[in-house]
Amino acid sequence: MTSSELETPPLDTARRLAEHGDLDGAAAILAELAADPDAPDRAQAAVGLAVVLEERGDLEGARAAARTALATGHPEYAAQAACHLGQGFEREGRPEQARAAWQAVLGVGTPAYMPLAHLALARLAGQAGDLDEAEHELRSAARTAVGSGDEPTAAHAAQQLAELLIERGEPGEAAAVLIDALEIAPAGEAPRLRVQLGIAHLELACAEFAAALEEGAGDSGAAGAAPDPGMTALAVELLARTLPLRGRDDDAGRVWTYGLEHEDETLAAEVRLRYHRDT
């Protein structure tokens, strides 16, 4: 062994061994460092050991090493260890343990890792059907990502939040979230956000067309004015032609049927003209 090899820090040696496939050799060095409570690199070594042991298939050993790193409270490596635990538990379908691990990431409090933890907690909440909690965590993910200067993650969180809000029938709030996100989103993220914003606007348009249809097809219009069959027929057409853009072909068919079979013959005739004009 050369003098330069003797002077190589153990962590670098372990890393080189792992990169060359000698997982046993890397694990031996890392385990020795992680077992020494006075070692300055104990937290980093323990995280590295967790990764190496997982690659070897020793999941319990990997978790024990990750917990050692987490117990150090190191702002970087304790957070990494908690992320490692959370990801592993999620892969195994153990949501309660995963949730505890991601909460531990928040407990460490390192800003760079908090958005990831909030996104994971939102994912787990969504899988459990707790949409209120999912929304809360997505808002937290976006806020902490902005605070840590992680614009791509902020954009990703905003898109997920908008999807959830649209699913919950709140397209207006979804649009507001996306407009705010576009102000800080990197150029590469903007197209995805704009498409989502367009979807939110489609949902808003459907809601407005439906409201116009409901109001216009009543006994009287606004302030007692007579209904306008032409405007109501336009609302029928716009709603029926917009709904398929959201994958709601059956609903579109029902809207056309409503207009075509309406008891007001003038309205029904107007709708027939609009229905057949493209045929």
Tell me the pLDDT tens digit for each residue of 181-203: 999 999 999 999 999 999 999 99
* Two domains, one topology: 1-109 and 115-208: yes
**What is the predicted pLDDT for the residue at 218?**
62
* Residue 74 DSSP class: -
Mean pLDDT on 110-128: 98
Mean pLDDT on 18-25: 86
Q: Which residues contact 228 (CB under 8 A, 6 or more apart)?
A: 216, 221
At 108, list the tokens.
């460490």
Mean pLDDT on 37-56: 92
Does domain 115-208 sit in CATH 1.25.40.10? yes
The closest alpha carbon to 53, from 26, 14, 81, 19, belongs to 26
- What mean pLDDT value characterizes the chain? 91
**What is the predicted pLDDT for the residue at 239?**
96
How is the chain split into domains, by residue range? Answer: 1-109, 115-208, 217-279
pLDDT at 219 over 80: no
The Cα-based distances of 150 to 126, 146, 225, 252 in angstroms read 23, 6, 54, 41
Does domain 1-109 sit in CATH 2.60.40.10? no
**What is the predicted pLDDT for the residue at 215?**
85
Mean pLDDT on 267-279: 87
